[in-house]
Chain A
């Protein structure tokens, strides 16, 4: 029940395309859902986050869509760029403050 399931494991997108990464969770106590971006040799960096009281949050080219009833949330990267090539992690937490991470998606954006 503590798991966050992330898919796909890897994703290849052409420059200018839309990258979509999906996550699903079981624990209904989760109330904060961040996405992290990690480049090789670096630690994860917070990209965007959402709480379950909103269904969508947009920051620049990055959008989180949240479906509370389905217990699913997704990251959409519009107009994907080669510089977006990285590993993306979804995560979730509850009042315990422990972040539970998804398994990661390796995104490659081809020029």
Chain B
């Protein structure tokens, strides 16, 4: 079974631009969660989607948004990029709602904002 696929692997953007990251979950998994990983803040929860609905949101500004499609694929969007948005963005999928159901992570998208 294919794992969680995130595209692109690397992105370089300029301050003020916007970016869209994509995540394809493991086949059959209905929940997709997004996490931000930085050396300073570690792994922080962004949001969780289940059945195309955002079920949970972390403490990030409204510039961070996402969506989930009917095939469970998910996208994350960051608008008006800031230097501090440089991070590894990880997508994780699970059979059921994230947290109690084992999360399977992709290898992430490394975003660099200059």
Do the two chains bind? yes
Contact of A89 among B43, B58, B108 (CB under 8 A): B43
Q: How far is A94 from B99 in the complex, measured between Cα atoms in Å?
A: 8
A12 within 8 A of B: no
Determine how close the nearest CB of chain B comes to the CB of A23; give it in whole angstroms. Answer: 13
Other-chain residue from B42, B45, B56, B97 in contact with A103 (beta carbon distance below 8 A): B42
> What is the minimal beta-carbon distance from B8 to any residue of chain A, in angstroms?
14
Chain A: residues with Cβ within 8 Å of the partner, total of 24
Q: Which residues of A contact B (CB under 8 A)?
A: 31-32, 34, 36, 41-46, 49, 89, 91, 93-94, 96-104
Chain B nearest Cβ from A104, distance in angstroms: 6
A-B contact count (CB 8 A): 60
Contacts of B99 in A (CB 8 A): 32, 93-94, 96-99
Q: Assess whether A101 is in contact with B97, with CB atoms less than 8 Å apart.
A: no
Choose one: A42, A46, A94; the contact of B107 (CB below 8 Å): A42
Alpha-carbon distance A42/B90, docked complex (angstroms): 10
Q: Look across to chain A and name the residue whose beta carbon is closest to the beta carbon of B102.
A: A46
Does B106 lie within 8 Å of A32, measured CB to CB? no
Q: Is B4 an interface residue (CB 8 A)?
A: yes
Docked Cα-Cα span, A91 to B102, in Å, equals 12
A34 near B45 with CB under 8 A, answer no
Can you name 6 A-B residue pairings with CB atoms under 8 Å?
A: A43-B106, A44-B43, A44-B105, A45-B105, A101-B43, A104-B43
Give 9 closest A-B pairs by Cβ, nearest first: A43-B105, A97-B99, A93-B99, A101-B43, A98-B45, A97-B97, A43-B107, A97-B98, A103-B42
Minimum CB distance partner of A101 in chain B: B43
Residues of chain A contacted by B75 (CB below 8 angstroms): none
- B43:A98 contact, CB within 8 angstroms: no
User: What CA separation (Å) do A101 and B104 show in the bound complex?
Assistant: 15
